[in-house]
Chain A
Amino acid sequence: MGDLLSLFVNSVFIGNILLAYFLGICSFIAVSKTIETATGLGLAVIFVLTVTSPVNWLIYHGLLAPGALAWAGFPEMDLSFLKYITFIAVIAAIVQAVEMVIDRYSPLLYASLGVFLPLIAVNCAILGTSLFMVERNHTFVESVVFGAGSGTGWMLAIVSMAAIRKKVRYADVPAGLDGFGFIMIIAGLMAMTFMMFSGITL
């Protein structure tokens, strides 16, 4: 239990998928203009990550990993090279399904979240989390915790960024630095702040 907690805290702060591994920066920049939309996208990312990470775990360890097909009589089979294409297909399919379910049962939620869902399918944070989960040899339970933790970390980062951008809206930034460059500098400072948690022991 303590291990899972520390995995969660690590994936939220020290190993923040956005600020330490640079995943999902495209939408981080595009959607951090207001706090409301940032929160919406953040929630969608948490949800999608918590679902896709374990689903991809099952597919990888049930079908693709070396020796995973032993039950079907192919103990020598190693299909792990197919993981990229399988994961991206699973993610696209899940996002599509989530979109349809939300649209059907909660039009209100769909109105606020729906626009972000297609964006998520190509968000590298989602694919990255699934690939990290394989690379780091997580167990099934760990993959759920890691997915949720990565999502939470991502949301925390984008919501803080939206809040900071609101505060600095009227700041007098030198021409040329204004815009993308300035956001990167802020992100750098945020990354430093998040790294301060690296001394933490649980």
Chain B
Amino acid sequence: MEVKSRMRRTASVAMVALMGLGLAACSAGEADADLNPDEVSGEISLLTPIFEGSPGQDLLEDELLPQFYEEYPNVTVNVDYTTYGNLNEKLTTAVVSGLVPDVMLMGVGWIEAFADKGVLADLGELGLNEADLKESYTDEIVEAGMWDGNVYAVPIMLDTRFGVARMDILKEAGYDSPPSSWEELIEIAEATTVRSSNGSLERAGFDMMSLDARQAFETMLFSAGGALFNEDATAPAFNSDEGVAALGLMADLVNKYEVEDIGFTSTDDIVNPLINGRAAMGIAHNNLWTQALEADETVLDNLEPFVIQGDASGMFFGGTLATVANNSKNPQAARALLEFLSSPDAALAANEQRGNVPALTELLDSDYVQSNRFVQFAMENLEVAQREGGPSQWLEVRGDFAPAVQAALLGQKSAEEALDDLAALVQTSIDR
């Protein structure tokens, strides 16, 4: 059995590697066929929410761009660093003024809005198509860069959310493995919750509040087998039975099973409660591994990632994708840079620097991925990962999710009411 499994694993890795090589050759070949490095020239600008800070800047300017210039000596890149927190403002003002950067890195769920406004170049016209991309990326990840059937972005890195259990705490409570169903999740969460004699919470059985409420809900929604929007993204689907069940479970975990209290943890906490043992399980970002590595290495052996399993497997992914401006004066140079940044070596370096999950399937074998159990786990389960976004109004409405989720958790509204009200709000935006 074990041998079979190992053989299957080796075969799959070999296949992935071959596919990767094939794509790399294909991409390189296409690039060579379409782009003659000596003929590609011009000054282009790059707006990036990754590579900020000294290590990132050093990586980009001292390592990656020199490699790019070696290949494309007649291209000059001016870099504009920002953070994700302010990327939308930078992009919006850039679009309004007409000074759109030639190459823009942006998040999953963002492509739709900017592609719909005509800001982004159709990469199909620049020689990158869906079929080629799907050979080296998981389908869902390629689709995160598409709008209206066309490719507008190429993924560079992913960040994922999944369940994480503190196995030392679970073992103390008599459990050998993380939960494999909602029922088990409730049971283990109840068993590992600790309250003092006066009832105040000392350890949460399942923490959902140290990450964004929207992302926590989305992870649970996906585990219920639900979706955010209908297939053509013209109507909300999160208020379906699955959505109501997911938010209902979250509310029950707080109000009925009392495995976490509102305010016990928050997104502003200095450290994730799984690291210092204030939570036995929770939904966490893959960078929990690097956080723990920095804060308390001894806890790493006890952190066990798991896909939250309901009627489906719940895992959420966001990420950073590279795009080209539709009105770029040097589209070939911009395309060259986009291809370079999303190429295996550059993408791996960027992921390693930020502790993120490479989007390229072939990078599963890299030392970096193999050395980071959470990143490895994320990559091994990308098939079940789902993203947020869908309609072009996503950036407008995504901020409405957290208040709706919180209203249900606080018991101000039932899960159904909260989601129906939210759906009405979202539908109005879509119809506008």
Q: Do A and B come from one complex?
A: no
- Give the interface of A toward B (CB within 8 A): none
- Give the interface of B toward A (CB within 8 A): none
